[in-house]
Structure formats: structure tokens, C-alpha cells
Amino acid sequence: MARLDFYFDFSSPYGYFAATRIDALAARHGRTVKWHPVLLGAVFKTTGSVPLATVPLKGEYSFRDFERTARFHGIPYRRPANFPIATQLAARAMTWIDQSFGEAKAVAFAKAAYAAYFVDGADITQPEGIGRAAQAVGIRTDAMLEGANSQPVKDALKAQVDAAMARGVFGSPFVIADGEPFWGFDRFDQLEAFLKNGKI
């Protein structure tokens, strides 16, 4: 059975929530998951969107919703001091780890980077913060930084983001299962029904 494509941005709380659940959800239906970091900054240029937290009225609500949604689902979450953040470094680091050490380590890094940012309060835009996630999966910070900042890795990530937009990805989290798109952690109930029944 085809893998699920899971798109996420490292600055997206709902992407983080989804990241804590997507592998188990897929496994319940005999599926595996391909994890794709994307850059919402690039995507939002296409859609004309702005970060949720910066919108009048909606912004204040969104912080409340992040915390309430985390409690509702029993997911550890602490509001980061800086939000939203640029996620080029984290996404490039994951891309380099995928190329250099394979997919399993890249996914473990992604989970560690999300936890560093949304649980431990690390600044993952900085070498020290993102370095914690690298060390958690046994990779040296200096090697990761050199790899993440290399031109081939930058180019590879840009190509991945362009490919995601070409498939219609416009937010985080975004899952494509057998061609069917699901945007948002709050569509995981529909995703689960789709995987179970083959349709909705």
C-alpha cells in the first residue's frame, strides 16, 4: 500500500501535534509515512497568506487554541518565546541528515527538533538550539551545520518545497494519502476514516 506523504513546517504547532501522531495513525492501517519538511514562508508568498498569529483577533485566539488543542490531545506543549520563526536551518538540516544518514534518522531528528522548540523552548533558528536535536540522534552540531548550509542541500530543499506546492500543499500539517489531500491536524479524524474505509 502506498506511503502517506506528510508535509510540515518546523514552526507550525499543528504540524508538531501531527508529528506526534502520524506514524502511529499510519501504522494502524498498514501504512508508512514519508516526512517532507516545507517552508511556509515560501508557500505563503504563493497563497498571499500570513502567519496565523499575526492576524488581528485570530492571532490571539490561535495561541489559546495551540495550548487547548495540546491539552485536549494530551500532547506536551509550551508556548515558545519566539513564534513564528524562520525554519530554513531546521529544514535544511533534516534534508542533509536524510541524504547522509537515511530517512529513519531524519525523521528522528525532525521529532527531536519539534520537541526542542515546542517543549524545551530551544531556539531552533540558532546552531545551539538545533544542535540539541542533532545530538539527540547522535550527530555532531558542526557537521550538521556544514551540511545544512551547503548549496546542494539548499537546492534540494528548495526543489522539495516547489514539488510540494505543485501538489497543492499550502499549509502545515498537510497529508496526501492515495491522492487525497488533508490539511490540518483537525482533519486527522477524516484521514483515519479514509485509511480505514478507502473513502469518505
Looking at the Cβ atoms of 24 and 166, the one nearer to a second copy is: 166
* 198: contact with a second copy by CB under 8 A: no
Q: How far apart are the first and last CA of the chain?
A: 18
Contacts with a second copy by CB under 8 A: the residue count is 31
Q: Which of residues 52-111 bind a second copy (CB under 8 A)?
A: 55-58, 60-61, 64-65, 68-69, 71-72
Binding a second copy (rule: CB under 8 A), the pick from 32, 82, 126, 190 is 190
* 183: contact with a second copy by CB under 8 A: yes
Q: How far is the CB of 86 from a second copy (least distance, A)?
A: 21
Q: In whole angstroms, give the CA distance from residue 17 to residue 10.
A: 11
Closest CA to 14 of 58, 52, 41: 52
User: What one-character DSSP code corresponds to residue 3?
Assistant: P
98 membership: H or E segment, kind and range: helix 88-101
Q: Are the beta carbons of 22 and 49 closer than 8 angstroms?
A: no
Mark 15-34 with x for binding to a second copy (rule: CB under 8 A) and - for no binding.
--------------------
* 159: contact with a second copy by CB under 8 A: no
User: How far is the CA of 103 from the CAs of 50, 74, 107, 110, in angstroms?
Assistant: 31, 27, 6, 10
Strand 33-37, strand 174-177: pairing: unpaired
Summarize as ranges the residues that interact with a second copy (CB under 8 A).
46-50, 55-58, 60-61, 64-65, 68-69, 71-72, 165, 168-171, 181, 183-184, 186-187, 189-190, 193, 200
